[in-house]
Structure 1
């Protein structure tokens, strides 16, 4: 294929439009040249390709025609040529037999009398595929730590964390739940908040890291105290010495006596009573 100098050296066409024209003329008939298809094959975005197609259309090298196909489906037929359409219709410098237009990659249809208005929509019909909705999170994936964080966000909306930081924070809350009640965690996270919270995730992470060692130590002390209280205490019994059981006192003067006496008196008290 030989490209005419008028196209490759066109004064008003950008280099991208000239390169796209050369690429389109090299494709076989019937090739999909919609903006989306071209963007998938070329190292250019849809916006740049759409702008280059409009330049070629304004210069007369490209025409688009809306046609109604089977089942009343409307499609766009694109024709690309190496000579502008205006030069094909009337050109004072052209020879008597105008050169036959070389069809571009498009359906074989009669050339329209006038180029259609530029369109920003893709040239070939391409029904968009329905986007599959994102799957809802499974209830089994919501841990107890996640529920606590959701309760905290409901109590204080400024402590709402994003989905990216939620799993890591929920894991920390799960560790805290092993040693403390959920209400205690909520109080620790929502008490004495600053006036401005720049990052809810950072604040929650800091408070959990600060309180978790304290909660763990307190739980260890409580468990140790509970195990000590539950263990049976040894019973201590003091046996009475046989020697101590033989000692007695005088019932009158309370003098200690080695052995008990029939009247319970010591010798002095008995003598006094006898006198």
Structure 2
């Protein structure tokens, strides 16, 4: 079997046109006659797409119309898991090869439609500018010539067909011929803009690690001991001295805010991603994103004082014993008016 394979390979290499390269890949190109898909180099050599995304795009492009290409359907067809396929689909969607949108059916049912375009860059140009290849016609075989046939002069080519001239209607004198309205050119198609930014877009800077107000020796010692002890609870967090020295101020800020070490430890080590490739980056993210606020003081926890409402007490009129509101005892309004009319002394509340 080895001899046959080597003989076939040697024969195929001998048929490769031109000199063989001294290094790199050597292509043995055998033309396809059936079951093949044309893939452009803009996809096969895309600088920003992963190999998983390129292979998945080729797989989708080779499927017939109407084939289900959801994440679960592709997982059943491919060896990759759902996470890698979902990430590859997001890459294709970011670069315009894939589009997913919601479509409402007449029965109020909403489904997800998936559209795959083999040339996303062509969507940004109008369809009228896209050259359309003419269908290839089979060559017409020339008639067989006899051995005694003497070639004569070539016949003159047929003249080009003249298009028919439309009839001209006479125009009355003094009137101008009506102008034929020229239809306006179609508006250019809007450029295709991906809804998701590409993976190469600049990412926002990461927030800095929290720093304590005052890094005392006690806080630094406690933070260093907590980071060094993490490997007892999670072997993935076997940190170096430089990592501990870099993360100690952030842990000290947690301790400064009265966070207990038994609370900090599970917050940093629980629910880890599998596999954990960058433990130091995970600790930086959790120490920054999950930093608790400082504990409120006793004055902050006190109930706010309600505004004091001054209530005017009731008084009893000295003349008619009628009740009225006044800060000081005296006469009611009616009795004051009567006494003023009589000229008598009136006790008016201050």
TM-score, normalised to structure 1, is: 0.34
Greater Rg over alpha carbons, structure: 1
TM-score, normalised to structure 2, is: 0.27
Q: RCO higher in 1 or 2 (8 Å CA, sep ≥ 6)?
A: 1
Richer in helix (by share): 1
